[in-house]
Amino acid sequence: MERGEDRISNLPNEILESILCLMPLKYAIRTSTLSKRWIHLWQFNLVSSSSLQIDFSDNQSPEQFVATLDRYLQLHGNRNLDKFGILFSPFENFFPNLENWIRTVLAKGVKELDIDLSQGVYNSCREFYMDQRIPFEIPISLFNCNFLTHLSLSRCYFSEPFDLTNFVGLNSLSLDYVYLTDEMLTNILENCVSLESISLKRCEYLEVVKFVGDGLKLQKLLIVDCRGVCEMEISAPKLESFVYHGSISFSHAFGNVSKVTNAYFCSVELEDNDENFLEILSEFSHLKVLTICSSSLFVLSLSLYSSFLVHF
pLDDT, tens digit, 9 for 90 and up, residues 91-122? 788 999 999 999 999 999 999 999 999 875 55
Beta bridge partner(s), residue 157: 137
Which residue has better confidence, 263 or 56? Answer: 263
Residue 3's pLDDT is 56
| Contact predicate 168/188, CB 8 Å | no
Long-range contacts of 301-307 (CB under 8 A, 24+ apart): 303/271, 303/274, 304/274
Query: Please, which pLDDT band fits residue 72 given cuts at 50, 70 and 90?
Result: confident
Pairwise CA distance, residues 47 & 108, whole Å: 13
pLDDT tens, residue by residue, 30-69? 766 666 666 666 665 666 677 888 888 767 788 988 988 8
Q: How many CB atoms lie within 10 A of CB 176?
A: 19
If you average pLDDT over every residue of the chain, what do you get? Answer: 83
Pairwise CA distance, residues 166 & 194, whole Å: 12
Q: Identify the CA nearest to 264 among candidates 233, 287, 282, 234.
A: 287
Buried-state track 279-295, b at ≥16 Cβ within 10 A, e below 16: ebeebbeeeeeeebeee
Residue 309's pLDDT is 47
End-to-end CA distance of the chain: 79
pLDDT surpasses 60 at 193: yes
Query: Please, which pLDDT band fits residue 254 given cuts at 50, 70 and 90?
Result: very high
pLDDT tens, residue by residue, 235-251? 999 999 999 998 887 88
CA 18 from centroid of its chain's CA atoms: 31
CATH code linked to domain 50-204: 3.80.10
Residue 223's pLDDT is 96
Average pLDDT over residues 22-28: 65
Query: Could you give the residue range(s) of every CATH 3.80.10 domain in the chain?
Result: 50-204
